[in-house]
Amino acid sequence: AQSVTQLDSQVPVFEEAPVELRCNYSSSVSVYLFWYVQYPNQGLQLLLKYLSGSTLVKGINGFEAEFNKSQTSFHLRKPSVHISDTAEYFCAVSPGYSSASKIIFGSGTRLSIRP
Amino acid sequence: DTGVSQNPRHKITKRGQNVTFRCDPISEHNRLYWYRQTLGQGPEFLTYFQNEAQLEKSRLLSDRFSAERPKGSFSTLEIQRTEQGDSAMYLCASSSTPGQSSYEQYFGPGTRLTVT
């Protein structure tokens, strides 16, 4: 079974500052890893995913994440945030084989950007 | 392609009533998933279909919940004898058969259920 822990429930950041949202996972098998974003009153949108290959993954809106197998982490980063990045961010994991079905989500991190 | 659509977007019902939600996936996707999201939590997996076959159900899915995908296209999720604890956002997602180059679930906007 897989599980995901998002270490911060809320992260306040000033506009144009860098941000890191932390995520750790647990799994007995190889995994696929994801970050989803949920803007207010909207559905989930995929920011980026790690399936295999390079451990540094670049996504949309200037976000990137690094897969660290030894630390079982997949932290999300952005060098300079904007007001429009205000949203809930979910880290998620799925078993890393082609018949994988469900995604296991973390409890979310609310990113609030201060002007 | 208009993405995953869900209807209704909001549903208010009285305890004990039955409700049914509909999900229309992206047309070429053969997999369809249902999740439930309560306030302040991440989505929790409920069930998924590959074409018309329901391949997995979560233990969260009590006997009052039933999901169908009769022709492998749209899906319905029915909750019988609703309880206040059923109040949540019900999310639908679809995907093609997972492969390393394309594994992604696309989510709909959700149906928010309030049980009074």
DSSP A61: G
DSSP A54: -
Chain A hits for B33, Cβ within 8 Å: 101-102
CA–CA distance from A109 to each of A24, A85, A92, A112 (Å)?
13, 12, 12, 10
SS3 call for A87: strand
Angstrom distance (rounded) from CA A12 to CA B61:
36
Sorting pLDDT into bands at 50, 70 and 90, what band is B28? Answer: confident
- Contact A85/A110 with Cβ under 8 angstroms? no
For the segment B59-110, what is each residue's pLDDT rounded down to a tens digit?
Answer: 888 899 999 999 889 999 999 999 999 999 999 999 887 654 456 889 999 9
Chain A contact residues (CB < 8 Å to B): 4, 32, 36, 42-46, 49, 51-52, 90, 92, 94, 98-108
φ, ψ for residue A10 (rounded to 5)? -140, 140
| Token digits of residue B109 | 């906007």
Q: Name the minimum distance, in Å, from the CA of A10 to any CA of chain B.
A: 11
Q: What is the mean predicted confidence (pLDDT) over B17-43?
A: 94
Q: Are strands B75-79 and B19-24 parallel, antiparallel or unpaired?
A: antiparallel
| Token digits of residue A60 | 């949309």
